[in-house]
Structure 1
């Protein structure tokens, strides 16, 4: 691509992503660089969280006493501290518990 050609937007974006890129395209270079830096950090953070969730869900030893292995596990951050949130069904009731990570 030459220096005069505008870059192409990624094709794998949904409608909301395309709209966000259209809006960002109207911004100044400094704003774009700041957004780019933030988005890289956000992507890294989300990847780490997803890896943690997959590890927690796949490792039955991480389940506290009384929580069945079929429980859904998610990681939630509150006030800078991460917690495992376990949720499962017992009959007609939904049960849950939260444990500090």
Structure 2
């Protein structure tokens, strides 16, 4: 690939982010691949950190109800033709659970 084929950052990025990406263009391929791996990990983390509606923690993209701790385990179950999330967690010596329609 020659200089005329060099990729350019998307136009719709904020100027500061665009400048960072343009500066990365001076790095060698190994550094760029390391940065790309980090950015991919960061995107995965960002997707799993918050639910786009409520901002509550999620597990694998499943939104947790406000009264369910983020450490709860989640199972998807089907009853009849409906799917439900079954949340289960320990609260002291007790095991708590909650079921929500998907």
TM-score by length of 1: 0.50
* Higher RCO structure, 1 or 2 (CA under 8 Å, sep 6+): 1
TM-score by length of 2: 0.49
Structure whose residues are more often helix by fraction: 1
Larger radius of gyration: 2
